[in-house]
Amino acid sequence: MAISRTLVFGQGKGGVGKTTLTTNVGGLAAAAGLKVLIVDLDQQGNVARDLGFEPDSGDRLMSALVTGAPLPILRDVRPGLDVVPGGPAVGDIAGLFQARAQRGGGDLADQLEKSLAAIAGDYSLIVIDTPPGDRIIVEAALTVASAVVIPTRMDEASIDGVSRLAERFVAVSGRNPQLRLAGVVLFAINSRTTRLERDVRAALGQILGDAAPVFDTRIRHLDSAAADARRRGLLVHELEQAGVGDRAAILKALKSGEKPQNGLYARDTSGLASDFESLTRELLSKLAEIEQETMVAS
């Protein structure tokens, strides 16, 4: 059931960077010339905040999946970047499909595969953001994906979340034997990570029976940039240009004797932007490897 070049960001714990990675990787891939679709399967709907469009109720996505209607796609949220928005109603999807499956109907994975297969040819990359705790939604996303990326922070709860996602990975392997673990992203890192890497590899190794690939690129910790991005509806690589505009506006206000407007919290986001750019290159390269391996195996 795997759909080629469909990537899931998943974790068993919230607040570990799934949505931030989804939007920034998707946005950078689109800026590099790929045609990208982001699918927000989280009832929080925070993809809207990251990309600066009006939050959605999720009703259109829920209706499309339940009825088999075309997915509700917001076109050109950025050049080359389309979005299927999530929202609160997405939280009802799991219960509806669980009831349907009990009556002998198709499950959510079946319908998600049909919905994405109908439009997959229009995109070079599909990126799916998943909720932390909804087993039915997460497993449906993994069932249709070709690869999964697991972000983690440095706390023990995040390591436990890695283990829960690994269990979901194993649970769908029979239905989607093509699914690959692209790797683990160390997110919001501000200190040495040797022990964290060891603990992540051990947690995944216990469940998957293999060494866990960890991406070379770490996403550094910068709360001020995270606050700016959500407040402005901008991706990290867009903040630097916004900062240039803010500084010009401040200078203009000072010269005219007016009170400057509040600008960005972060003074320099270039390092963080570089992290996301490096990770996107690394991830796209890994996806190409997975696609080649899948073609050879088939």
Neighbour order of strands in the sheet with 6-9: 74-78, 81-84, 36-40, 125-129, 6-9, 147-152, 180-189, 219-220
- Beta-strand relationship, 81-84 and 74-78: antiparallel
What's residue 235's pLDDT?
Answer: 95
Label residue 258 by pLDDT band (50, 70, 90).
low
Q: Please give the structure tokens belonging to residue 246.
A: 């803010």
Domain with CATH 3.40.50.300 in the chain: 6-222+270-297
Query: Residue 95: pLDDT above 50?
Result: yes
* pLDDT (0 to 100) of residue 23: 98
**Of 237, 47, 73, nearest in space to 129 by CA:** 47
What span, in angstroms and rounded, lies between the C-alpha atoms of 281 and 10?
19
pLDDT of residue 240: 79
| CA terminus-to-terminus distance, the chain | 14
- If DSSP codes are grouped into helix, strand and coil, which group holds residue 198? helix
Pick the CATH number of 6-222+270-297 from 2.50.20.10, 3.40.50.880, 3.40.50.150, 3.40.50.300: 3.40.50.300
Average of pLDDT values for 255-280?
Answer: 76
148 neighbors 11 (Cβ within 8 angstroms): no
Flag the least confident range among 51-60, 103-112, 234-243. 234-243
- Supply the DSSP string of 86-153, one letter for each residue: --GGGGGHHHHHHHHHHTT---HHHHHHHHHHTTGGG-SEEEEE--SS-HHHHHHHHHH-SEEEEEE-
In this prediction, residue 251 carries a pLDDT of 43
- Whether the per-residue pLDDT at 211 is higher than 50: the answer is yes
pLDDT above 70 covers what percent of the chain?
90
Tell me the pLDDT band of 157, cut-offs 50, 70 and 90: confident
pLDDT score recorded for residue 257: 54
pLDDT of residue 137: 96
Residue 15 is given by DSSP the state S
Give 206: exposed, middle or buried? Use CB within 10 Å, 0-12, 13-18, 19+.
exposed
Q: Please give the average per-residue pLDDT across 76-87, as a whole number.
A: 98
Q: What band does 121 get if pLDDT is binned at 50, 70 and 90?
A: very high
